[in-house]
Amino acid sequence: MAKHHVNLKVNGDEHDLLVEPRKTLLAVLRDTIGLTGTKEGCSTGDCGACTVIVDGEAVTSCMVLGVTASGKEITTIEGLAGDGELHPVQQAFINTGGYQCGFCTPGFIMASKALLDENPNRSEEEFRHALGGNICRCTGYTKILEAVLKAAEEIRTTA
Amino acid sequence: MSDYTVVGQTVARVDAVEKVTGAAQYGADVHPPGMLYGKIVRSKQAHANILSIDTSEAEKLPGVKAIITQDDVPSGRRVFATDKILYLGEPLAAVAATDPDIAEEAAELIKIEYEVLPVVQDVMEAIKPSAPRLHGDGTKDGPNRREIATQIRRLTRDKENDHSDEISKLEAELENYPDEVYYNISAESHSDAGDIEKGFAECDVVVEDTYVIPRVHQTYMEPHVSVASADSSGKVTVWASTQGPFAIRSGIAGTLGIPLTQINVIGTTMGGGFGGRFGVIITHVPAVLLSQKSGRPVRVQMTREEEFTDGRPAPGCVIKLKTGATNDGRILARQALAFWDSGSVSGASIGSTIRVRGVYKIPNLKVDAYGVHTNKSGTAAYRAPGAPQAIFAGESQLDEIAERIGMDPVKFRLMNMREEGDPIPAGATEPKVGYKETLEAVADAAGWWDREAGENQGWGVAVGDWTNGCGPGGVYVAVHEDGSVRIFHGSMDITGTDTAISQIIAEILTVPYESVTIRRGDTDSAPYSTGSGGSVVTFTMGNTAKLAAEDAHQRILELASERLNMNVDNLELRDGEVHVVTADPPKSILLGELAAYSLSTTGGPIVGKGSFARQASTPALAAQIAKVEVDPDTGRTRVLKLVASQDVGFAINPMAVEGQIEGGTVQGYAWAMMEEMQYGEDGNINPGFVDYRVPTSADLPTVESVIVEVPAPNGPYGAKGVGEPPITPTLATMANAVKDAVGIRVTELPIKPEKVVQALQSNGH
């Protein structure tokens, strides 16, 4: 299959790639660039495990073709911690026990980060609904919500 | 408060940073150089004879490197279907190609010709003589016929006396039960206690109902995956997403006839298991075969759709249950007849039907259970396998009895609960357990005793019991010259167990938790370890870790004794230093100094070894209370409050224990309210998250967990396995709450809104 030239900026690094048009952004991130922190849980956009941030917006990368992401700025779970410091959302997931098997965690953290960037002043109920596109099978969500609320508080107080 | 400094404390898990940064390596993250992508070719029919499999077109596709069918399985053990297909999605062949899309294309190019056969999906249909047979007749007698047949056999055996009259009478009696010849039976299980007829005769109230529990999928978030690499010497390396690397090693060896020494299984970080990640053939064996044939590493990864069609979910079942009690609230008799849907193979959790006895003093009990073949994939364990189904029936019916005799459901349960020394119906004697404490704790925490309910609101309570398993394990612990402690073992971390092991060793060696590191070996390097399922890990590996640390502790004192020229009895390990107890001024030596000193001694470095296999476990109880509100117009049930208590023995890491309680409870909620694998003539019809809904954060409130600690005599620090119990009562908790809210007793799960609306309408709403 003919490949197309794609330029992606992922976690600050430029990648010039030749990509088949049928490859998803998820496949490009994982198989071509080798950033395997983003997970594939359903391949149909329903579980949110593959959530990354594209130009500031959380998207399920299994539902985006790699070629359509050309020229865009992408942040994956690997790009979240900076200068040896975890992002407040990452730290909150650790402190509250907001993960168990960890497979959905990168997607949850990216979805939460996008929500918090947009507006950290949400109620628990609002966060519960806003995170409804991500499935976790281990935690029952109680500690995930606790983590997101804690991160929101941290972000509000340091902002 | 305990005197412990590390165990019993909430600590961040040992894998915290790798899990929140995306660094943890799961199965699909393994990518050896030259790796090919495998794809399993699956049946598009639910029941059919295979007429032909034609791979010729697929072979021509550029990028295809290997195609395998059953002909490529040298041992002849069934990996792929050959003559008959028993369910939609059954593996027929597999392909390896240079790209996943090419592998998928190739799989579609393989032509299968079928002769389609009639399909049976419902267990109650499958047992009838008119049903299509999956594996020959498989007939078994139902409970009454079975009893009569046993009597006939007994009389026939007695050659000394003439029983011919009695025998012909009994044979005539058999004719009374024509419907009790069951077909398509895969297995059976029977147990009883007391005298069931007499028991029911003494009851004032008897309730009888049929409970239908659907097949549900464990729905671990990481689909099955393995990467296999067979080298030219015949050595096979398998990176497997599994709960039991050692079981996978022996499974591959047995299936393919490869010696154990030629197989190394590397367990990758597990993206959830819940009992469903022990299968050998599922992806591991095809990956090995494809690698052997292509000479390159191959990854076989299931899609979510494949998980639903060819995973090994929890069995559904039909349980006919009858319970009798006296007007003053004593349960006297209970009888169950259960049909478990084992799918195309045997192995559903039929033995768990006995759990209808719950934690109650039921003097008369009779349980008959059958596994039934249908055109579905086989089943596997799912968190307390079989218990949620049986306990749903038992605990739902208990509420019906309580209502009829006018007793509070919590008081009714408390009154009938077994205590230490009571006989367990069809079992041994009850040890010291926290049944009543756990139920009382949840009632208090939920505000049960002064509960209020608005219109269409209701409260439900239920309890579920489970006992953790136990198995062999080995742990090494070493102390290094900087005073740090290194742990090595072979057990898969199942969401927090590596942390518990680390805490236990830190506690015994009196070092900070942060100075302990833990590493899991592969099957080539690590000592044997039992699979991480059945809530075994903290119990088994915790005990093993304790032994290893105590061994190291002893060596530390020996070294200190040598170094300080002091009798061991006068030495004590405390705060990471060995102190001379009687020294004035105080005298001590750091662990790190001793480790450094050890390197030049005759005895050598500090290495502790722990090896453990079996100790009696103690039952654990989970008790839950839900407050719900049912919208009578839409039938939708909203959970207002969900409180879950559990007797955990001792919580080594309370935050992790809470996480298990919360997660298990929500899985139980999902089974009660939303999940159901649906099957039609063509097999599974809802193989994805749009049609098979699992809960999201939007569906639920905060789960309030309550930890109860009644120590288990053989558990490390009294700990019991905590993973499985919390799912066991929730199905009934929810059904009981809905009943209390709107008067509708749902006996067929899940409690979907349409069912509630229909029931309300037929009740005249």
Provide, as residue numbers in chain B, all residues whose Cβ is less than 8 Å from the Cβ of A109.
20
Mind telling me how many Å the CA of B495 is from chain A's nearest CA? 5
Q: Judge if B755 and B642 occupy the same domain.
A: yes
Same domain, B110 and B229: yes
Note whether B539 and B606 are same-domain residues: yes
**Residue B535 and residue B724 in contact, taking contact as beta carbons nearer than 8 Å:** yes
Residue range B194-201: mean pLDDT, rounded? 98
Which of B303, B696, B703, B707 should we substitute to test contact with A (largest number of A Cβ atoms within 10 Å)? B696
Alpha carbon distance B40, B90 (integer Å):
9
Q: Which residues of B touch A133 (CB under 8 A)?
A: 696
Same domain, B684 and B722: yes
- Both tokens of B146, joined, read 């079975």
Helix (H) or strand (E) holding B285: helix B284-294
Q: Are residues B524 and B576 both part of a single domain? A: yes
Long-range contacts of B558-561 (CB under 8 A, 24+ apart): B558/B603, B559/B594, B559/B597, B559/B598, B559/B601, B559/B603, B559/B606, B560/B589, B560/B594
Instruction: Please report which helix (H) or strand (E) contains residue A41, including its range.
Output: none
Say if the Cβ atoms of A38 and B22 lie within 8 Å.
Answer: yes
Measured in residues, chain B has a length of: 765
The model's pLDDT over B315-347, given as tens digits with 9 standing for 90+, comes to 999 999 999 999 999 999 999 999 999 999 988
Q: Do A101 and B698 touch (CB under 8 A)?
A: no
* B689/A34 touch (CB, cutoff 8 Å), yes or no: no
A–B CB contacts, 8 A cutoff, strictly below = 174
Domain boundary among B612, B629, B652: B612
The widest CA-to-CA distance across chain B, in whole angstroms, is: 95
Q: Which residue in A31, A103, A140 is closest to B221 by CB distance? A: A103
Q: How confident is the model at residue A83 (pLDDT cuts 50, 70, 90)?
A: confident
- Is A99 within 8 Å of B663 when comparing Cβ atoms? no
Given the residues B562, B724, B748, B754, select the one marked as catalytic. B724
B639-to-B372, B485, B631, B659, B730 alpha-carbon distances in Å: 35, 46, 11, 19, 12
Cα–Cα dist B745/B758, whole Å: 12
Residue B385 maps to a domain: no
The reply to whether B1 touches chain A by the CB within 8 Å rule is no
* Residue A133: band (very low, low, confident or very high) from pLDDT cuts 50, 70, 90: very high
Question: Touching check for B62 and chain A: CB below 8 Å?
Answer: no
B111 and B257 in a single domain? The answer is yes
Distance CA B345, CA A155 (A): 54
- Is residue B282 included in any domain, yes or no? yes
Tell me if B430 is assigned to some domain.
Answer: no
Q: What angle do CA B307, B310, B315 make, to 5 degrees?
A: 95
A138 with B495: Cβ contact below 8 A: yes
User: What is the percentage of chain B residues whose pLDDT exceeds 70?
Assistant: 100
User: Per this entry, what is the length of chain A?
Assistant: 159
Shared domain check, B626 and B717: yes
**Any residues with CB less than 8 A from the CB of B87 and at least 6 apart, and which?**
B43, B46, B47, B309, B310, B343, B344, B375, B376, B377, B683
Identify all chain B residues contacting A103, using CB atoms and an 8 Å cutoff.
26, 220-222, 271-272
Cβ of residue B271 closer than 8 Å to a chain A Cβ:
yes
Return the residue of A nearest to B655 by Cα.
Answer: A97
Nearest CA in chain B to A131: B697
Sign of CA dihedral B601, B607, B612, B617: positive
pLDDT of residue B576: 96
Q: What is the pLDDT of residues B53-97, one digit of tens each?
A: 999 999 999 999 999 999 999 999 999 999 999 999 999 999 999
B364-373 and B331-343 beta bridge pairing: parallel
Binned at pLDDT 50, 70 and 90, residue B112 comes out as very high
Which residues 14-33 in chain B show a CB within 8 A of chain A?
Answer: 15-26, 28-29, 31
B684 in A contact zone (CB under 8 Å): no
CATH code, domain with B719: 3.30.365.10
Domains annotated for chain A, with CATH where assigned, are 4-78 (3.10.20.30), 88-158 (1.10.150.120)
* Within-domain flag for B479: yes
For all residues of chain B together, what is the average pLDDT? 96
Label residue A99 by pLDDT band (50, 70, 90). very high
- Choose from B10, B13, B15, B19 for mutation: most chain A CBs within 10 A: B19
B724 is catalytic: yes
Total domain count, chain B? 3
| Residue B15 to residue A102, Cβ atoms within 8 A | yes
Residue B285 forms part of a structural domain: yes
Express each pLDDT in B642-663 by its tens digit: 999 999 999 999 999 999 999 9
Burial of B570 (0-12, 13-18, 19+ CB in 10 A): middle
B39 has which bridge partners?
Answer: B95
The pLDDT assigned to B59 comes to: 98
Alpha carbon of A87: minimum distance to chain B alpha carbons (Å): 9
Q: Which of A23, A21, A19, A73 is nearest to A43 (CA)?
A: A23
CATH of the domain at B102: 3.90.1170.50
Asked whether residue B74 is domain-assigned, the answer is: yes
Burial B113-134 (b: 16+ CB within 10 A, else e): eeeebebbbbbeebbeeebbbb
Judging by beta carbons within 10 Å of its beta carbon (0-12, 13-18, 19+), is residue B600 exposed, middle or buried? Answer: exposed
Task: Say yes or no: B590 and B625 in one domain.
Answer: no
pTM exceeds 0.95, yes or no: yes
Give me B587's structure tokens.
Answer: 């005298």
Dig out the tokens for B371 from the structure. Answer: 């596994």
Its domain, for residue B548, covers: 471-612
Per-residue pLDDT at B347: 81
Please choose, from the candidates A134, A124, A151, A107, the residue with its C-alpha nearest in 3D space to the C-alpha of residue B701: A124
In chain B, residues with a C-beta closer than 8 Å to the C-beta of A96 are 655
CB B459: neighbour CB atoms within 10 A?
23
A153 Cβ contact partners less than 8 Å away, ≥ 6 residues apart: none
Separation in Å, CA B689 to CA A61, B619, B676, B679: 17, 35, 11, 15
Residue A1: Cβ within 10 Å count: 10
β-pairing, A4-10 vs A73-75, is parallel
CB-nearest to B16 from A27, A43, A94 is: A94
Chain B, window 478-497: residues with a beta carbon less than 8 angstroms from a chain A beta carbon? 495-496
Bridge partners for B299 per DSSP: B37, B227
Q: Is residue B64 part of a domain?
A: yes
Indicate the pLDDT class of residue B138, thresholds 50, 70 and 90. confident
- Whole-number pLDDT of residue B53: 96
Q: Is pLDDT above 60 for B356?
A: yes
pLDDT digits (tens, 9 = 90+) for B394-403: 999 999 999 9
Spatial contact of B118 and B85, defined as CB atoms under 8 Å apart: no
pLDDT class of B521 with cuts at 50, 70, 90: very high
Hunting for tokens 């005073």 — which residue is that?
A: B483
**Strands (DSSP E) along B119-218, which ranges?**
140-141, 181-182, 185-193, 205-213
pLDDT at B1 over 70: no
Contacts of B705 in chain A (CB under 8 A): 142
Structure-token match 């003919």, residue found: A2
In this structure, is residue B591 part of a structural domain?
Answer: yes
3-state secondary structure of B605: coil
Say if CB B356 and CB B146 are below 8 A apart: no
End position of a domain, from candidates B301, B330, B361: B301
Among all residues of chain A, which has the CA nearest to that of B20? A90
**What one-letter code names the amino acid at B16?**
A
Contact B698 A129 (CB under 8 A): yes
CA distance B227 to B265: 10
Inter-chain CB proximity B21 and A90 less than 8 Å: yes
Q: Quick one: B604 and B752 in the same domain?
A: no
Interface test with chain A among B302, B495, B697, B722, by most A beta carbons within 10 Å: B697
Q: How far apart are CA B678 and CA B373, in angstroms?
A: 16
Same domain membership, residue B563 and residue B497: yes
Q: Examine the fold and report which residue of B253, B272, B301 is the final residue of a domain before the chain moves on.
A: B301
Helix (H) or strand (E) run with residue B703 in it: strand B703-708
Residue B283 in this model has a pLDDT that exceeds 70: yes
Q: Is it the case that residue B724 has pLDDT exceeding 80? A: yes
Judged by CB atoms closer than 8 Å, whether chains meet at B697 and A101 is answered as: no
pLDDT over 90, % of chain A: 96
| B662 lies within 8 A of chain A by CB | yes
B493 and B510 assigned to the same domain:
yes
Phi–psi pair at A65, nearest 5 degrees: -80, 140
* Span B224-239, pLDDT tens digits: 999 999 999 999 999 9
pLDDT for B251 equals 97
Residue B694 touches partner A, C-beta closer than 8 Å:
yes
- Per CB-CB distance under 8 Å, the chain A contacts of B222 are 39, 41, 101, 103
Tell me if B272 and A103 make a contact (CB, 8 A cut-off). yes
Query: Between chains, do A139 and B15 touch, taking CB under 8 Å as contact?
Result: no
**B706 and B599 in one domain?**
no
CB–CB contact B222 A41 (8 Å): yes
A90–B223 C-beta distance less than 8 A? no
Is residue B2's pLDDT more than 80? no
Phi, psi of B422 (to 5 degrees): -70, 145
Look-up of token digits 């990864």: B301
**What's residue B348's pLDDT?**
82
